[in-house]
């Protein structure tokens, strides 16, 4: 079939105005900075090839970025063939950082992430049951201040972002679905006032973004990332873009009804997917108490040793996991499904069963081309993704995002390098 159906733009959209020289320079600076941010140190020669710009342009762009403290340029350390070496452009990880936060069901985490994605420092504290997200901002800000004292002198903050889990535990132990956003924006504004702004988003969406930018899903257009915590939610990437939904509530896949005669769910419905695949379901099948710390790991290890009850519990959860994955494969037709959060280990323990159920329940055309993978970034995915969100503004307009040092010598002053 030659061509997909795509909706055209709305008729009101006026024709795009022509891009001026300043706009082109802005885009090119962003392309160079984004490249080294995502790919790491890169020679001017390689940037020339990868970005399709000519050598002198790359040289001038890299020099501008270096003059404003966003990258460094150095001669390569390894021996090379004849000719003058091409300078290597590196992101200034220690000099430019993002404040990355996550409000998870049972803990609060904060990291300073350097340009280039390097984790400079990380702190974690428990989240008491019932603590609203807005109340978590104060403790998180204290962690950030503490970390910032240890950063290199003159390090500049490019912005911040917070990933908020969509399922939390109330003070009485009950699981509550849906983020309580009330006051979160105001609390962030109060605690992080002078910076270049703070963004917030759903934890599964942000972890999906992290896997898409730096994990197992790099370069793929159609991905379903499943995140297990107290519940199960998803970040769905379609056509290279996150599906966020009409009110930013997409991806509540844990509440697909897959078993109408099943157990009541905390959401008020019955037979939701997460009643069959959550950690609580695994422990229930294994005859364990949900409150036992470390119990999930014990069940998975027992299953690996071949203990019958544990193995049966894992297989049962994996079968339901495969059934829901089949539904998502039929609906969204992803090229890759990623298992993250607590589902990472569950998938690893029952991968064969998951695939078997997928093969039994999804249409051949969709299931044959889909790969299943454990997440690459582990529990840091949300922080890594939050840092990517926080860097977005800088990468879109490197010199005007309030991060670049405004050198008196002007742009391009250090451009003595050989392209």
Residues in 361-400 at the binding interface with a copy of itself, rule: CB under 8 A: 361-366, 369-370, 385, 388-389, 392, 395
Rounded to 5°, the CA angle 177-178-180 comes to: 120
Binding-site size for a copy of itself (CB under 8 A) equals 109
What's the burial of 150, exposed, middle or buried (CB within 10 Å: 0-12/13-18/19+)?
exposed
Contact 175, 112 (CB under 8 A): no
- Going residue by residue from 43 to 82, which x/- string records binding to a copy of itself, judged by CB under 8 A? -------xxxx-----------------------------
The one among 63, 110, 234, 403 contacting a copy of itself by CB under 8 A: 234
Q: Left, alpha or beta for 352 (phi > 0: left; psi -120 to 50: alpha)?
A: alpha
Give the range of 81-89, 115-123, 209-217, 405-413 binding a copy of itself by CB under 8 A: 209-217
Burial string for 30-57 (b: 16+ CB within 10 Å, else e) reads bbbbbbbbbeebbbbbbbbeebebeeeb
> Which uninterrupted H or E stretch holds 237?
strand 232-238
Report the nearest approach of a copy of itself to the CB of residue 97 (Å): 18
CB closer to a copy of itself, 2 vs 294: 2
CB closer to a copy of itself, 300 vs 403: 403
Contact 390, 98 (CB under 8 A): yes
The one among 11, 293, 294, 306 contacting a copy of itself by CB under 8 A: 11
Residue 2 touches a copy of itself, criterion: CB under 8 A: yes
Query: Restricting to residues 335-354, which ones interact with a copy of itself according to CB under 8 A?
Result: 335
Query: Restricting to residues 95-124, which ones interact with a copy of itself according to CB under 8 A?
Result: none
Residue 252 touches a copy of itself, criterion: CB under 8 A: yes
Please state, in angstroms and rounded to a whole number, the distance separating the CA atoms of residues 390 and 281.
36
What's the burial of 135, exposed, middle or buried (CB within 10 Å: 0-12/13-18/19+)?
middle
Within 10 Å of residue 162's Cβ, how many Cβ atoms?
Answer: 30
Residue 15 touches a copy of itself, criterion: CB under 8 A: yes
Residues with Cβ within 8 Å of 77's Cβ and at least 6 positions away in sequence, in order, are none
Residue 89 touches a copy of itself, criterion: CB under 8 A: no
Residue 8 touches a copy of itself, criterion: CB under 8 A: yes
Query: Restricting to residues 139-198, which ones interact with a copy of itself according to CB under 8 A?
Result: 177-178, 181, 184-185, 197-198
């Amino acid at each position: 079939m030659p061509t997909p159906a795509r909706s055209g733009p709305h008729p009101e959209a006026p024709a795009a105005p022509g891009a001026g020289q300043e706009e082109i320079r802005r885009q090119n600076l962003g392309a160079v900075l984004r490249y080294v941010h995502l790919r790491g140190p890169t020679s001017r020669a390689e940037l020339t090839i990868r970005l399709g710009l000519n050598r002198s342009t790359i040289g001038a762009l890299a020099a501008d970025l270096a003059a404003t403290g966003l990258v460094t340029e150095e001669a390569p350390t390894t021996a090379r063939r004849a000719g003058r070496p091409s300078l290597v452009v590196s992101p200034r990880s220690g000099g430019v950082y993002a404040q990355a936060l996550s409000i998870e069901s049972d803990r609060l985490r904060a990291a300073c992430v350097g340009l280039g994605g390097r984790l400079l420092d990380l702190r974690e504290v428990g989240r008491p049951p019932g603590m609203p997200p807005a109340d978590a901002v104060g403790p998180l800000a204290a962690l950030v201040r503490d970390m910032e004292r240890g950063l290199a002198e003159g390090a500049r903050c490019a912005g911040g972002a917070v990933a908020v889990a969509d399922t939390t535990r109330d003070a009485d132990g009950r699981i509550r679905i849906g983020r309580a956003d009330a006051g979160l924006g105001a609390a962030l504004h109060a605690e992080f006032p002078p910076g270049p702004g703070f963004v917030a988003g759903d934890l599964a969406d942000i972890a999906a973004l992290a896997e898409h930018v730096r994990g197992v899903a790099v370069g793929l257009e159609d991905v379903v990332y499943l995140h297990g915590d107290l519940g199960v939610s998803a970040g769905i990437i379609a056509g290279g873009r996150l599906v966020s939904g009409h009110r930013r509530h997409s991806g509540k896949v844990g509440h697909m009804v897959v078993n109408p005669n099943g157990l009541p769910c905390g959401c008020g419905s019955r037979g939701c997917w997460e009643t069959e695949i959550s950690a609580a379901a695994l422990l229930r099948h294994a005859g364990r108490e949900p409150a036992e710390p470390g119990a999930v790991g014990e069940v998975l290890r027992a299953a690996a040793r071949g203990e019958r009850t544990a193995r049966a519990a894992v297989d049962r959860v994996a079968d339901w996991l495969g059934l829901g994955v089949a539904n998502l494969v039929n609906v969204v037709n992803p090229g890759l499904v990623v298992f993250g959060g607590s589902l990472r280990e569950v998938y690893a323990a029952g991968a064969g069963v998951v695939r078997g159920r997928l093969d039994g329940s999804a249409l051949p055309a969709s299931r044959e081309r889909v790969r299943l993978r454990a997440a690459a970034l582990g529990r840091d995915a949300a922080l890594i993704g939050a840092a990517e969100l926080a860097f977005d503004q800088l990468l879109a307009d490197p010199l005007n995002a309030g991060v670049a040092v405004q050198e008196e010598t002007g742009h391009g002053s250090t451009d003595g390098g050989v392209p």
